[in-house]
Amino acid sequence: MITFRIFLTLFLLLILVGQLPANEGLRHITVEGKICCLEEGIAGVLVTDGEFSTLTDSSGKYHLLSDSDKTFVYYTLPSGYESPVKNGLPIFYKRINNEKTDLFVRNFEIIKSEKNQEKHVFIVWADPQVIEEAELDLFKDVVSDVKESIAGLDPSNSIHGISCGDMVFDRLNLFDPYIAVMAETGIPFYHVIGNHDMDYSNITNETSSLTYQEKFGPSYYSFNKGKIHYITLNDVFYYGYSYHYMGYLDQKQIDWLKADLKLVPKGTTVIVSLHIPTKYAESKKKPGLLELQKNAMVNAEVLYDLLSDYEVHIMAGHSHEHWNTIISDTIMEHTHSAACAAWWQGEIGIDGTPRGYTVYEVDGNKLTWYFKGVNKSKEEQFTLHPDGSDEEYPDCFIANVYNYDPLWKVLWLENGVVKGEMEQYWGEDPAAKVLYKPGKNSKYSWLATGQTHHLFKAERTQKEDHISVQVVDRFGNVYTQELK
């Protein structure tokens, strides 16, 4: 008797080698038009249907040979310009599959930026994941906090947002109210499709994103801002069977990305946004095959190769945990904890990171960044737990440093004297372990903590001594807390 695992493997192979029936009635079409700013054509703009690409000529005109199965024609926004914004969403695309014709005329008007884009800011959140109307009120707290952060930034900065997927929790009817709340940030937000943003009632990967596209546009695209090139990818591949999916970049996107990068000078700083991280968090536990393919991009090496000539930061979500991964000397991945923390069941996520988002500040081609907890100060970059908080280390006090990467230092002081660096370890955040004890949550019985590597421990010399912890981030910023 054939097992489900064997069946699933054969089914995937069938998809990946392209043996499924071809789309019937496919015909060639032509898309043409002009990209203008104040009626003046803009040359050299990349225009694509997601598979075929072309450039505008000296007068801003383009001519694209396409196929009738394509949904959109869209452009890569050139540096120094902005796309029109509707309900907080940049509108850089137009539909081309809703008319029975072989010639589509689609013109675009873009806007000259009033701000110098050399210095700009972008805010990244992941996994708001609302499942009911009541959670939209909780999401409003995140949006309000983002607005406060924006108000504290240099007003000369151009600012945009990136959402790394799972805007909703399988309730696609909540897309519209999500958009209404998100738009209150007052900045354009670029979106990534997540596994919970897909229509699982459809039977193929290709049709699973139709509702998402109706609300947010293409699921992969690019734009420029200042000296930075931004790329958004769809790395959630739906099997067409219940909730089965994997992290995978399909051939069509790979080919599109090759064409896109041909126009990007080597050495450029590139921001790649996607949902499922390209690399699974290293841990003490070796993940099973199904766990691995659901939590990492299985063909990530292809992406790394394409990006090897650039300075790259990958923005990911999906995990509801926060961590940073140094992929290579030129590629760093930022996996963002959830804006909803643990599915709106508490103020911290399953790794102890507060619900929040990350602020990235751009100066030329350089980035700096910091994590921002909702209703917390920018200075609150870690949580300090007293001695005995972790039963595995009863004599140690614990620091959970949310946005840690290998260039950070976590020092402990006794009576004001630096005693050394705290010891990093894999474990469960003490507060999350209590809050999300398996079976405790009345709404989600499966809710439990996750192992994290941004925990640090140390044992004091004298029990009555005064203890403090000093955290120094990769940019030299110092954060200090006293143990209470």
Per-residue model confidence as pLDDT tens digits over 317-347? 999 999 999 999 999 999 999 999 999 999 9
Identical topology for domains 28-112 and 382-482: yes
Per-residue pLDDT at 2: 45
User: In sequence order, what are the residues at sequence separation of 6 or more whose Cβ sits closer than 8 angstroms to the Cβ of residue 391?
Assistant: none
Query: Kind and range of the H or E element at 231?
Result: strand 228-232
Give the C-alpha distances (Å, rounded to integers) separating 247 from 205, 236, 427. 12, 5, 25
Q: How confident is the model at residue 293, as a pLDDT?
A: 85
Region for 190 from its dihedrals, namely left if φ exceeds 0, alpha if ψ lies in -120 to 50, beta otherwise? beta
pLDDT of residue 253: 97
How far is the C-alpha of 36 from the C-alpha of 346, rounded, in Å? 48
CB crowding 200-226: b at 16 or more within 10 Å, else e: beeeebeebbebbeebbbbbbbbbbbb
Q: 28-112 belongs to which homologous superfamily?
A: Immunoglobulins (2.60.40.10)
Residue ranges per structural domain of the chain: 28-112, 119-373, 382-482
- Considering Cα of 216, then 221, then 226, then 227, what sign does the dihedral take? positive
Q: Which helix (H) or strand (E) holds 65?
A: strand 61-67
pLDDT in the model for residue 21: 40
Reduced to 3 states (helix: H, G, I; strand: E, B; else coil), residue 290 is helix
**Residue 14: per-residue pLDDT:** 43
| pLDDT of the residue at 467 | 94
**pTM, two decimal places:** 0.93
The torsion of the CA quartet 199, 201, 205, 211, rounded to 10 degrees, works out to -30
130 with 175: CB under 8 angstroms?
no
Q: If residue 479 lies in a helix (H) or strand (E), which one and from where to where?
A: strand 478-482
Specify the residue for token string 């972790």. Answer: 390
Residue 16's φ and ψ, nearest 5 degrees, are: -70, -25
- Asked if residues 409 and 421 have their Cβ atoms less than 8 Å apart, the reply is yes
CATH architecture for residues 119-373: 4-Layer Sandwich (3.60)
Q: Which backbone phi and psi does 74 adopt, to 5 degrees?
A: -155, 165
pLDDT less than 70: residues of the chain: 1-25, 283-286
Type of residue found at 369:
W
Strand order in the sheet with 53-55: 53-55, 46-48, 72-75, 93-95
CATH number of 382-482: 2.60.40
Residues 6+ positions from 71 with CB-CB distance below 8 Å: 50, 95, 96, 97, 213, 218
11 token code pair: 């089914």
Q: Using CA atoms, how far apart are residues 345 and 294, in angstroms rounded to an integer?
A: 23
